[in-house]
Amino acid sequence: MTTRALLRVAVALIVGSAVAAQDVALTEGQADVSITLNGQQIIISRTQDTGAILTGEFAKTSRPCPAFCIQPVIPAAGVTPAGELEVIDFLGGNVANNTGLLIDARVPDWFNKGAIPGAVNVPFATLGSKNPYQADILRALGAVPINDGFDFSNALTLMIYGNGPWDAQGTHAVQALIAAGYPPALIQNYRGGLEDWLHLGLTTVLP
């Protein structure tokens, strides 16, 4: 091996290490996002370890279906589908200016293991008509009780997610809201859910 070849190897290794140390940004030129929600600051960024991989629950590929079937991106007509960037924009826009709410539709056990920053846990079952307190939740979402139901004209815009593309909890939440009269135009669905969020190494928080 010539000295020149050795030099090339050394230079390649140094350059390679420099690449490994580079930030994992959200998008080109944007490393992270800082949002203030009701006086509390949240920062969304990505895991900087380029070798990180998912393990455990969210690494599974083949859960049994029925039970964990592939979910539609649009669970009901008129609902807007969303991805990670839309979720982040939603937090910085609608949620920050009090016109929207990011809803984690999973049961509390899941929510408490880690959730998207700024999300509120509204388990899908609490939105169903079988919950005797359903009306209280609709009121909290800005619906105004009128004679024959609710007036949703000043209701919050909702972004809803579950565990991921295989999990029906978000789908159920969207459908329960629409059955209660919530306008589909005010509902956005992040089907990727926590699994896709984690797959991109995005920040999660423990409530």
Partner 1 sequence: MIRSVVALFAFAVVLCGYIVLRPSDNGRAMPVVSNDAAVTRAQTDAILAPVAATAILTNSAVIQAPQRNTAPGINVPVDNSTMVSTAANVLAGLGLNVDPNPDAVEDDPMRRMTAGVLSGIGAVTGNTVTTASQDPTPTSALELLVVQALKEGQNDDYIDTLVNEAATAGTITVPEILVTSDGRVDTHVLLTSIIAQATIAAGGVAPTAPERPEGVEVRIVQRATESQQYRFYTVRSGDSLGAIAMNFYGDVGKYNLIFAANRSTLSSPNNIRVGQRLTIPDA
Closer residue to partner 1, CB minimum distance, 82 or 103: 103
Is-cis flag, bond preceding 184, omega within 30?
Answer: no
The DSSP string of 67-109 is TSPPPPSSSSTTPEE--HHHHHHHIIIIITTTSEEEEE-S-HH
**Rounded distance between C-alpha atoms, residue 87 and residue 194, angstroms:** 12
Q: Kindly state the smallest distance separating residue 2's Cβ from partner 1, in Å.
A: 10
169-201 burial: b if 16+ Cβ within 10 Å, else e: bbbbbbbbbbebebebebbbbbbbbbbbbbeeb
For the CB of residue 206, give the shortest distance to partner 1 in the complex, in Å: 5
Least distance CB 77 / partner 1 (angstroms): 26
Q: Residue 152 and residue 149: Cα distance in Å, rounded?
A: 10
- Our CB check for partner 1 shows the closer of 73 and 137 to be 137
Interacting residue ranges for partner 1, rule: CB under 8 A? 3, 6-7, 9-10, 13-14, 17, 20, 37-38, 47-49, 51-56, 58, 95, 98, 101, 108-109, 112-115, 118, 120-123, 125-126, 130-133, 135-137, 139-141, 156, 198, 201, 204, 206-207
Which residue, 17 or 62, has its beta carbon nearer to partner 1?
17
CB 135, min distance to partner 1, A: 7
By beta-carbon proximity to partner 1, the closer residue of 123 and 162 is 123
Q: Which is nearer to partner 1, 66 or 130 (CB)?
A: 130
Name which of 49 and 69 has its Cβ closer to partner 1. 49
Query: Which residue carries 């807007």 as its tokens?
Result: 80
**Which amino acid does the sequence have at 116?**
I
In the complex, the smallest distance separating the C-beta of residue 99 from partner 1, rounded to whole angstroms, is 10
Burial class (CB in 10 A: 0-12, 13-18, 19+), 152: buried
How many CB atoms lie under 10 A from the CB of residue 155? Answer: 21
Least distance in Å: CB of 116 to partner 1? Answer: 10
